[in-house]
Amino acid sequence: MTEAKSPASSRRPLTLRDVAEAAGVSEMTVSRVLRGRGDVSEATRRKVQDAAARLGYVPNKIAGALASSRVNLVAVIIPSLSNMVFPEVLAGISEVLDETPLQPVVGVTNYLPRREDKVLFEMLSWRPSGVIIAGIEHSDAARAMLRSSGVPIVEIMDTDGEPVDAVVGISQRRAGREMARAIVERGYRRIGFLGTKMPLDHRARKRFEGFTETLGKHGIEIEDSEFYSGGSALAKGREMTAAILGRSPDLDFLYYSNDMIGAGGLLWCLEHGLDVPGRIGLAGFNGVELLDGLPRRLATMDVERLETGRMAARIIAEAASGERPSKRRRIELQPVLQPGDTMRPPRD
């Protein structure tokens, strides 16, 4: 059966007026029915709904938004989608916004400040009801845009600094410090660090700073380190582990800046018969679900990504629904050490 050239396929999209004429009422009445606002008699309501459905009317939110100056979009700005951390935060955001009329719109910056500025500018030009943005480090321009946007802003995943408005997440420095403490408590002393070559990843940098700071207090310095960029993180974890242990075979702990390279390192160590966690301990960062299926559970630090997303979304949703802003503008979640099977127990 060939598609008949139905009227619906004419190039001009339908307007309220079309529905109004088809239903024999005013545009205003159609508008009320379609938004479920105001009093409309059951009879006209049905007439209108029938007409709209029959014609296949899709409202024009552009016009609606302009007229009402209400836009049910929440800008969500994150550095990447390929690091599973961010989709998980997004899941938390969606979960909460699904209960509201708000909708998330995602922008990706690839960790580039320039792109962040641009993405933010683009999104703000759609006049969203709120902004959730990863990190607390932004260009002056970005901070100015956020400040003068007039909508609620939630910076997430890093509380080390001054937020523009609200902030939800963990202290990355503290996460680094706590991991260092856990390692030292467990008697490891010769420590290697493996991470990404990403000067622009402020969260990784702060973790590293916190980590070295606490080691320093115990008179320990990182003995060797390896950095990578690009490629399959699992494979890189293997390569880097081989390289660092080739150079510095006496290391007794390897701290990886993310779970994926940590998993690669774990596989390498097991294949090479190293005694984990006796001879050498391993830890990653993030607590990604993936780890559950590894031969041993890699030690890691869970950062409550889902909850971060949820709380950020709640702040926006509250503000958008006109509630007076809650007092809690700064929510610091606690990173939770999961020692898994790749760290020996603490000495007492």
Partner DNA sequence: ATGAAAGCGCTAACAC
Partner DNA sequence: GTGTTAGCGCTTTCAT
The footprint of DNA (CB under 7 A) covers 12-17, 25-29, 31-32, 34-35, 37-41, 43-45, 59-60, 63-64, 66-70
Nearest alpha-carbon partner for 337 in 291, 287, 293: 287
Omega cis (within 30) before 277:
yes
Cβ-contact 210, 175 below 8 angstroms: yes
Cβ-contact 173, 160 below 8 angstroms: yes
Does residue 88 interact with its own copies by CB under 8 A? yes
Part in contact with its own copies (CB under 8 A); list of ranges 148-156, 185-193, 302-310, 333-341 = 148-156
Nearer to DNA, 35 or 217 (CB): 35
Does residue 124 interact with its own copies by CB under 8 A? yes
Part in contact with its own copies (CB under 8 A); list of ranges 37-45, 191-199, 256-264, 314-322 = 256-264
Contacted entry of its own copies, DNA, none for residue 43, CB cut-off 5 to 8 Å set by kind: DNA
Cβ-contact 93, 310 below 8 angstroms: yes
Nearest alpha-carbon partner for 277 in 342, 191, 200, 322: 342
Nearer to its own copies, 126 or 227 (CB): 126
* Nearest distance in Å: CB 334, DNA: 42
Figure out which of the listed residues 94, 225, 248, 338 binds its own copies, where binding follows CB under 8 A: 94
Nearer to its own copies, 127 or 329 (CB): 127
Show the DSSP H helices in the chain as ranges: 16-23, 27-35, 42-55, 61-68, 85-97, 113-124, 140-148, 172-185, 202-217, 233-247, 259-271, 305-320
Residue 245 identity: L
Q: What share of the chain is helix, strand, coil (3-state, %, to 5)?
A: 45, 15, 40
Cβ-contact 95, 66 below 8 angstroms: no
Nearer to DNA, 41 or 148 (CB): 41
Please state the length of the chain: 348
Does residue 235 interact with its own copies by CB under 8 A? yes
Binding-site ranges for its own copies (CB under 8 A): 3, 6, 8-9, 11-13, 56, 58-63, 65-66, 71, 81-82, 84, 87-88, 90-91, 94, 103, 105-106, 108, 121-122, 124-127, 144-145, 147-150, 231-238, 260, 263-264, 267, 271, 289-295
